[in-house]
Amino acid sequence: MRLIIAEKPSLARAIAAALPGQVRRDDGALVAGDTVVTWCLGHLLEQAPPDAYDPAFKTWRLDHLPILPERWKLTPRPKARDQLAVIRRLLKQADEVVHAGDPDREGQLLVQEVIEALGWKRPVARLLVSDLNRPAVQRALTRLEDNARYAPLYRAAASRARADWLYGINLTRAWTLIGRQAGHDGVLSVGRVQTPVLGLVVRRDAEIRDFTPYPFFVLWVDLAITRGTLRAWWVPDEGHPLDDQGRLLTRAPVDTLAERLPGAQGRVSALETRHNRQAAPLPYSLSALQVDAARRYGLSAKAVLDICQRLYERHRLITYPRSDCRYLPEEHWASARATLEGACRTDDTLGGWLDGADFSRRSKAWSDQKVGAHHALAPTGKPADLSRLEKAEADVFRLITRNVLAQFYPPLETRDVKAAFLIDGETFRAKGQEVLAPGWKPLFTTRDEAPPLPPLAEGEACRVEAAGVEDRETRPPEPFTDASLIKAMMNIARYVEDPAVRRTLRDSDGLGTEATRAGILETLIERGYLVRRGKALRATRLGSALIASLPEAVGRPERTALWEQRLTAIAEQDDEPGPFLNALVEDLHGLLAAADAGRLARSLQTARGEETAPSRRRTPWKTARGAKRGGRSGRAGKPRRSPS
C-alpha cells in the first residue's frame, strides 16, 4: 500500500481526486485503489515545553535560565492525537510513503517530523503540489522525487524551530519575571521576529512624537512660452539659508524675488528629454500582494492571507499563495491563454483586460532560473464566477489575475522632460511626462503621474506672468500601516544602520517570511503591543516600554535577518545547524545578563508619561502669497495616541 501524507485535508482531497479509480473515505483518510491519502492539520507536533525536560522548569525562575535542552523533544499539539493515531496505524500498513507537505521550509518540516517521530525508517518520496487543480496535481504525481533531496530544507526548518524556542522561551521568561518585580502583572513575550517588528513601530512612533516642525518657503512662477504656459519652481543657491534638502529657511528672499519677477524675461537654459520604456510589474508574491491590497482596499495583511488561502483551498482559483517568488515557470507560458480565458470570462473587468492581451508576447516573468520551491501567485484557469465570491475575495483575485494578464501587454512608453530656466539671474525648474504608449498602465490606473510640459526648445524665450510664495512646514514620517510595515519587513536593509550589515541584507529575504508576516502583526496586536487606529499601526504604552527595557539589539532587525541568512545557508548546504545554534546559545547568555527590573520599571513609567504628555503645537499652514492656485499644506497633524 502506498501512503501519501498531505499537509492539510484540502491538499489530501485534491491528491485523491487526481488518482485513478473511485475514491472512498476511510477513518481519517481517503482511499483510491492501492493508494491511501491521509493528512496533517498543519503542525501535529510542536517543541516540548521546558517542564518536559525537567519538572522543575514548570516554575518560572531566573536562576533556571538559560534552559538548554540536550536532546530535543516534540509533543502532540492539542487536538492532534486522533490524527496522529490514524497516521501511525497507516504507516504500519504501508509499503511506500510519500511526503506531500507544502513546497516550503515549514511544509517540509511538519510532515517529515511526523514521519520520523512515528518511527518510519524506509525511504520516502516527495510530492510537490503548488496548484490544487486536477491536471496540475496529476502532473505532480508523475514527478515524485526522493525526499532525501530535501533533507537540508528539513534541517533548516528544524534549526529555526529550535532557535525560536531557545530565544523565545528564555527571553520571555526573563522579561516576564523582571516585569513582575517592576510591577507588571502579565507575560512579556519576546520573539526573534515579532520583537524587531515591534521595534520598528516604536522607533517610528518616537520619531513622530519627538518631531519638531520648522517652516520653509517655496517660490513658483507661471511662465509664458512660445507654445503654452507652465509652472516652474525657484532653485535657491547655497548663498541662502538652506536645510540639508535644499529648502529655503527664511522668507525674505522669496518675498523680494516674487515682487520683482512678474513681467521678467528669461530663457530655457537646459533641457533634458528621456524616452522611457517600462515593463509591466511582475506577478505577485504574497507580501507584494499584501502591500497592494492594503493600499488599494484597506485590507490587513492577515485578511489578504486568509483570502488567498480560501481562493487556493476552497475555490481553487489561484495557485499556492504563500510564495516569496514573483516569477512563473516557463512551461506555464504556453498554457497562459487558456488559463487566463478561464479566469476572466465571467467578469466584465477581467474580460475587458483579456481582450487587450497579446499572447504572442513573452515577458521576463517566465523564468525557470528564478523559480524555486514556489512560483508567483497566478490564476489556475478554473472558471471563476466572481459574483459568488465575497467582495474582498473578488478584489484580491482581480489583482492576482491582472498582474499575470499585464505580462501580455506592451511596455509603458513615456517621454520625461526636465527643463531649467534662467530668469533675472535665478534658476527655475519644471518637469513633466508625456505618455507615448500606455501599454499595461490602464490595467493599474488611469491617473497620469505628472502632466506633460508644452513643447520646449533650449534657448527659447520665456516671460513671467505671475509669481507666488508658499509657506510650508516640514512633516514627520507617516505612522506605519499594514502595507508600509509589510514592505519594511520585506526590505529590512533600509532600517539597518551598519553599512556592512546593510550590504549583506540587501539580498536576504527580509524580516519574517511570506507565511508568517501577517501573523506577526496580528500577534503583536493580540498581545497588546500594537493597536490599529484607522489604517495606522501604533505602539501601545506596554509595547514601547518593552522595547525600551530590552537590549537594543533585541528590538532591532539585524539579528533576525542574519538568522534567516544562516537558515538559508543551512537549507542550501552552505552551513550546518550546530554552529548556528551554538552561536545563539552564546548570545543568549549575554542577553539574559542584561535583564534589569529597574530599567523595565523606568521604561514603563517613561512610556506612561509620554502617552499622557501634550503634543507639540503645530504652526498652522498659511495660504500662498500671490498665488493663482494654492499649494498643499506640508503641516503634520497631531499624532494619535495609543492606549495600552
The string of pLDDT tens digits covering residues 403-415 is 999 999 999 999 9
Residue 487 pLDDT > 60, yes or no? yes
Model confidence over 258-289: pLDDT tens digits? 999 999 999 999 999 999 999 999 999 999 99
Q: Residue 533 — very low, low, confident or very high, per pLDDT cuts 50/70/90?
A: very high
Domain assignment of residue 59, yes or no: no
Q: Could you tell me if 248 and 291 lie in one domain?
A: no
**Same-domain pairing of 377 and 291:** yes
- Domain harbouring 332, CATH code: 1.10.290.10
Residue 62 lies in a domain: no
644 found inside a domain: no
Cα 577 to Cα 575: distance, rounded to the nearest angstrom: 7
CA angle centred on 310, ends 305 and 315, rounded to 5°: 145
Q: Which residue has the higher pLDDT, 514 or 463?
A: 463
Number of domains comprising the chain: 4
Residue 368 forms part of a structural domain: yes
Q: State the average pLDDT over residues 496-501.
A: 76
Q: Are residues 364 and 464 in the same domain?
A: no
Are residues 606 and 489 part of one domain? yes
- % pLDDT > 70, the chain: 93
Could you report the per-residue pLDDT of 145-163, keeping only the tens digit for each?
999 999 999 999 999 999 9
Domain boundary among 98, 118, 143: 143
**Residue 555: CATH number of its domain:** 1.10.460.10
- Which class for 632: exposed (0-12), middle (13-18), buried (19 or more C-beta within 10 A)? exposed
131 and 28 share a domain? Answer: yes
* Residue 284 annotated among the catalytic residues of the structure: no
Residues 6+ apart with CB under 8 A from 581: 159, 162, 163, 166
| pLDDT attached to residue 634 | 34
Angle at 535 between CA 530 and CA 536, to 5 degrees: 45
Does residue 639 lie within any of the structural domains?
A: no
Query: Per-residue pLDDT averaged across 113-118, rounded?
Result: 97
* More reliable by pLDDT, 402 or 631: 402
Same domain, 220 and 291: no
User: Can you give the pTM of this predicted structure?
Assistant: 0.86
Return the C-alpha cell found at 176. Answer: 516576564
Closest CA relative to residue 528, chosen from 170, 203, 188, 165: 188
> In this structure, is residue 40 part of a structural domain?
yes
- Say if residue 457 is in the same domain as residue 444: yes
The CATH number of the domain where 86 resides is what? 3.40.50.140
622 has a pLDDT exceeding 70:
no
Single residue among 96, 111, 143 that ends a domain in this structure:
143
Output the CA torsion sign for 65, 70, 76, 77: positive
One domain for residues 371 and 301? yes
List pLDDT tens digits, range 161-204: 999 999 999 999 999 999 999 999 999 999 999 999 999 999 99
Question: Which residue range forms the structural domain that includes residue 331?
Answer: 286-408
Asked if 254 and 320 sit in the same domain, the reply is no
pLDDT beyond 60 at 121: yes
Catalytic position from the list 167, 284, 320, 529:
320
Domain containing 259 — which CATH number? Answer: 2.70.20.10
**Strand-pair category, 96-100 with 124-126:** parallel
Question: How far apart are alpha carbons 639 and 475 in whole angstroms?
Answer: 11
Residue 226 and residue 205 share a domain: no
Pick the last residue of a domain from 358, 378, 408: 408
How confident is residue 510, by pLDDT bands cut at 50, 70 and 90?
A: confident
**Residue 626 in domain:** no
pLDDT over 90 percentage in the chain:
80
- Paired sense of beta strands 35-39 and 2-6, if any: parallel
What confidence tens digit (pLDDT) does each residue in 43-77 have?
999 999 999 999 999 999 999 999 999 999 999 99
Do 355 and 448 share a domain, yes or no? no
d(CA 439, CA 280): 8
pLDDT value, residue 643: 30
Average pLDDT for 440-467: 91
Does some domain include residue 585? yes
- The predicted-structure confidence for 421-447, as pLDDT tens digits, reads as follows 999 999 999 999 999 999 999 999 867
Q: Give the SS3 label for residue 291.
A: helix
pLDDT at position 74? 97
Mean pLDDT of the 73-92 span:
95
The mean pLDDT of the chain is 91
- The average pLDDT across 543-565 equals 90
Q: Residue 504 — pLDDT band, cuts 50, 70, 90?
A: low
Per-residue pLDDT at 502:
74
Q: What is the pLDDT at residue 507?
A: 61
Note whether 368 and 455 are same-domain residues. no
